[in-house]
Amino acid sequence: MKIIEISSTQNELIKFVYKLQNSKFRKSQKLVLLDGNKTIEGLIDDGFEFEFIFLKKENPLINKINTKEMVFVDDKVLKKISTVKTPCSMVGVIKEPNVSSELFFDFKKIALIDGIKDAGNLGTIIRSACAFSIDGIILLNECVDLYNSKTIRAAAQNMFKIPIIHSDINFIKKLKKNHKLISTVVDAKKDFMEYEFDCNFILAFGSEAEGLSSDVIDLSDEKLTLFMDNNVESLNLAVCSSVAFALIKLNQRFMSF
């Protein structure tokens, strides 16, 4: 492990890390910028390897960190490279995870997120998918950057606990050989709460504004609606998916008796 100390915001490494806040640049480097304390602490506890980690010398976690380069900095530098107004005590950089799409052919429970634009919603969906044992998540069409800092913070330590890929409709067609494609829509006749998830499935949720794309709807084996009381027309996408994941787990628990 290389240990260095940087006190200037004009240092070339600091400038490089600052540029990782830009989605296009981040993707070109295949790196992920992390500035949520809970996320970083969770990765440290899991023994995750960092490319760089930036922190103060007095940080109590120093001896637990697995990193290629440990960089001691001050508050001024942390503020420069952090994406939040109140700087974190640590900022990390890791390699973008390389998740094989082949894994998904063996998964039983897959969530498909079509065209999501809100970073906080995506992070919450990831968190809920982990909480209720969804095997993997597929992002389809134009979605918000998976490694947006708001997404990572909303996922609350769970971003790297579940396989997530970005794919296309042709891949969904291949998965349909062994999975049912079940779409959540607002006007189906079948109630989500009465459906028995007794097979391998891909559960699809559409974007906040536009819903599911026509390609997904046309491919669907089932269309379900989460019927609600008190004339409530709709739920936030993250809330809807979280309720759905919890209902599936409850449904399958009863089926196992």
DSSP secondary structure string for all residues of 80-116: HH-SSSS--SEEEEEEPP---GGGGGG-SEEEEEES-
Q: Please tell me whether residues 17 and 124 are part of one structural domain.
A: no
Q: Please tell me whether residues 211 and 245 are part of one structural domain.
A: yes
Q: Please tell me whether residues 8 and 80 are part of one structural domain.
A: yes
Q: Please tell me whether residues 170 and 205 are part of one structural domain.
A: yes
Q: Please tell me whether residues 113 and 237 are part of one structural domain.
A: yes
Pick the closest to residue 66 from 89, 41, 48 (CA basis). Answer: 48
Cα–Cα distance between 167 and 110 in angstroms, integer?
A: 13
Strand partners, 165: 138
3-state secondary structure of 49: strand
Q: Please tell me whether residues 90 and 164 are part of one structural domain.
A: no
CATH of the domain at 139: 3.40.1280.10
Q: Please tell me whether residues 79 and 112 are part of one structural domain.
A: no
CATH of the domain at 62: 3.30.1330.30
pLDDT digit string (tens) for the chain, length 257 residues:
999 999 999 999 999 999 999 999 999 999 999 987 888 999 999 999 999 999 999 999 999 999 999 999 999 999 999 998 776 899 999 999 999 999 999 999 999 999 999 999 999 999 999 999 999 999 999 999 999 999 999 998 899 999 999 999 999 999 999 999 999 998 888 999 889 898 999 999 998 888 999 999 999 999 999 887 777 777 789 999 999 999 999 877 655 54
Q: Please tell me whether residues 110 and 230 are part of one structural domain.
A: yes
Q: Please tell me whether residues 105 and 221 are part of one structural domain.
A: yes
- Whether 175 contacts 104, CB under 8 Å: yes
Q: Please tell me whether residues 154 and 62 are part of one structural domain.
A: no
DSSP letter, residue 67: E
Q: Please tell me whether residues 67 and 125 are part of one structural domain.
A: no
DSSP letter, residue 193: G
Question: Edge to edge, what strands does the sheet with 31-34 contain?
Answer: 2-5, 66-72, 49-55, 90-95, 31-34
Number of domains the chain contains = 2
Domain closes at, from 70, 95, 120: 95
| pTM score, whole prediction | 0.92
Residue ranges making up the domain that contains 33 = 2-95
Q: Please tell me whether residues 26 and 123 are part of one structural domain.
A: no
Per the rule left: phi > 0, alpha: psi between -120 and 50, beta: everything else, 118 is: beta
Cα–Cα distance between 102 and 99 in angstroms, integer?
A: 9
